[in-house]
Structure 1
Amino acid sequence: MTRGVGEHALVNELLPDWLAVVFGVLTQLGDIWLLSILLATLFVLGIPSRTDVAFVGGAWLAGLSAYRGLKELLAWPRPTATPLDPGSLPGVVETVYELTAFSAGYGFPSGHATSTTVVYVGLASVLTVSSARRRYAVAGAIVGVVCLARIVLGLHYVVDVVAGVALALSLLLGIRMLAGRRSLDRATAAFAVAVPIGVCYLLTSAAEPKAVLVLAASVAGLLGWRLYDEAASA
């Protein structure tokens, strides 16, 4: 049984192989290294506020545990065929492609789709620059580009990225609802959600090192944020 709907055959038919390198670079918009730098920079600068950035960061940790836990639980493989073949490209360009466009592990749901949606849509909801409509439009465009890149590169099926986006939006909405019902600030609510989801990821992965690190980051985030918030309020 396959989750595909013929999307990779369509990519192979319509798109030139050199686009593989372009999409390999674009997919970095959803990579952990870039999202980490982005959130850390915004937190240090206090843009728009440290509470808002901590909320997005906590939601992102929850998303990391959620999609990775689901991958371990379901163990649904990635596509087996690569739609675009960069083999005919110059050596340096092909090397760039190989460094940016390959992933290991299971395929459902898409981690890039989940992380990209949590971070960029989350930031769109808290930033104050321009109008809300424009912020969400930019966030949606970035999410769309990353999701398309994952499909074009043959790393995911359409259903994988749709599930990742849906998972991320559910987390963002759920955290906001929890904060409202429990009279918590959104950052505390986000880390409070990230911790139990991190425990679930730890269990489903049989305590793999990545799960330990994400759970430790979630716990440290919750405790660290509470200490910071209390000190800032004193």
Structure 2
Amino acid sequence: MTPPPAPVSATPLATRGVGEIAFAESLPEAVTAVFWALTHLGNPYLLLALVALAYLFGDRVGLSRRSAAFALALGLCAIGLTVGLKHFFGLPRPPTSYRGDLGFPSGHALGSTVFWGGVAVLSTRGRWRRRLAAAGALVAIVCLSRVLIGVHYLADVVAGVAVGSAFLAVAFALGPGFDRGTRGGALATPDHGHVTALFAVALALGLAGLLVAPGESELLLGVGTAAGAVAAWHRFGRRAADTTIEPSGRALAVGGGGLVLALGVMSGTAKLADSAAVILVAGALGAVCLLALPLAVGERSGG
């Protein structure tokens, strides 16, 4: 008689430490405090705020508005991948972690790989090799911080980087493709259809994640945001991409205030609301507001 398969918790991955947790516990408190600060370079809400700022101000920060929207879609995809995979594997964090939820793969590692790697590919600032090197350094810092503050095993962050890198390669290869014909400039230039398609992929990944993690508020917010983004970008994405925002007090007040309000409502709802429907609606409305901000504060270019 064939024995039943071993539960996930009994697999070698469940005891996947290689001594890194003991090393982390031996570090001076001052060193740990530094890495507690550095770990926020992979915080999903910080990354959302950064890409929203890049989207609002467009080329002024080295990303076209269309590329910034593509980066936002990459981040939403990362949420669905992270939560879905964590619940699929069901592996806990180290016993030293202050958080008691699931740990494999690392969401910070996966998300920062997708975000910083995607921005490096999409940006027009500097040489692409330097951008990729800078992105790699940021991801490495985030990964190291997750291990040294005791919230992940080394295997968790390695898996997060691997999944994030693989997803980036597929997203760009099947979307805008790569162009290494110049030493500077963007390595990929997505068009309107690429952005719409990637928002739809983010929605599909989020819905798939809900099959294994139906009550996850972060995932519900991501699904709502992706759904709102698909509709909004399809409806007025071209106009938003062609809108020019001139620096002014009004632009800063309306644009900055709109960003703070939309992001605050989205994150606050995800943390405080008990209703899945409320979180989904907050995400959808937040996406519409964020993508429509250029239309509220700028002027459409003649091209």
TM-score exceeds 0.5:
yes
Deviations 1:173-222, CA, capped at 9 Å, x for gaps:
221233259x9743223212111111111111124333222111111111
1:110-147 superposed Cα distances (whole Å, 9 cap, x missing partner) = 00001111111100001111111111111111100010
Check whether the contact 1:52–1:186 (CA below 8 A) recurs between aligned residues.
Answer: no
- How far apart are residue 41 of structure 1 and its match? 0.5
Shift of 1:156: 0.5
CA contact (8 A) 1:79 1:157 kept: yes
Provide the C-alpha distance between the structure 2 equivalents of 1:196 and 1:138, rounded to a whole number of angstroms. 31
What are the equivalent positions in structure 2 for 1:68-83 lying under 5 Å apart? 68-81=83-96
Indicate the residue corresponding to 2:146 in structure 1. Answer: 150
- Structure 1 residue aligned with 2:229: 221
- CA distance in structure 2 between the aligned counterparts of 1:180 and 1:4, rounded to whole angstroms: 39
Distance 1:21 1:197 in 2: 35
Match of 1:119 in 2: 115
For the residues of structure 2 that align with 1:122 and 1:223, how far apart are their CA atoms? 23
Counting matched residue pairs gives 213
Please provide the CA RMSD for this pair. 2.1
The answer to which of 1-10 and 30-39 deviates more is: 1-10
Amino acid at match of 2:134: V
Closer/same/farther in 2, CA of residues 227 and 72 from structure 1, 3 Å limit: same
User: Matches of 2:237 and 2:24 in 1, distance apart?
Assistant: 49
Larger displacement relative to structure 2 (23-32 or 200-209): 200-209
Q: Does the aligned pair in 2 maintain the 1:176–1:186 contact within 8 Å? A: no
1:133: which partner in 2? 129
Q: Given that residues 54 and 68 in structure 2 are in contact (C-alpha distance below 8 angstroms), is that contact kept between their aligned partners in structure 1?
A: yes
Aligned equivalents of 1:152, 1:75: Cα separation in 2: 22
Pairing 1:197–2:229 present? no
Residue in structure 2 matching 1:162, options 158, 164, 177: 158
In the alignment, which residue of structure 2 is the partner of 1:6?
19
User: How many angstroms apart in 1 are the aligned matches of 2:168 and 2:215?
Assistant: 26
- RCO greater where, 1 or 2, for CA within 8 Å and sep 6 or more? 1
**Structure 2, unpaired ranges of 5+:** 1-13, 178-190, 243-302
Alpha-carbon separation, structure 2, partners of 1:71 and 1:32: 16
- Work out the CA distance in 1 between the residues paired with 2:225 and 2:100: 23
The TM-score with structure 1 as length reference comes to 0.84
For residues 212 and 34 of structure 1, the distance between their equivalents in structure 2, rounded to whole angstroms, comes to 18
Structure 1 34/104 Cα, relative in aligned 2: closer, same or farther at 3 Å? farther
For residue 67 of structure 1, the aligned residue among 79, 82, 89 is 82
Q: Which amino acid is 2:133 matched to?
A: A
Please give the secondary structure, in 2, of the residue aligned with 1:106.
Answer: coil
Q: CA offset at residue 30 of structure 1?
A: 0.7
5+ residue gaps, structure 1: 83-101
User: CA, structure 1 residues 222+128, in 2 after alignment: closer, same or farther (shift >3 Å)?
Assistant: same
Q: 1:39 aligns with which of 48, 51, 64?
A: 51
Structure 1 residues 27 and 228: CA distance shift in structure 2, 3 A: same
Counterpart of 1:29 (choices 41, 53, 59) is 41
Instruction: For residue 236 of structure 2, give the secondary structure of its aligned residue in structure 1.
Output: helix
Q: By how many angstroms is 1:230 displaced?
A: 4.3
Q: Which residue of 2 aligns with 1:106?
A: 102
Partner secondary structure for residue 137 of structure 2: helix
Distance 1:186 1:115 in 2: 20
**CA distance in 2: counterparts of 1:225 and 1:152, whole angstroms:** 40
Give the fraction of aligned pairs with identical amino acids, expressed as a percent: 38
Return the alpha-carbon distance in structure 1 between the equivalents of residues 174 and 229 of structure 2: 17
CA distance in 1 between counterparts of 2:173 and 2:70 reads 13
- From the CA coordinates, give the structure whose radius of gyration is larger: 2
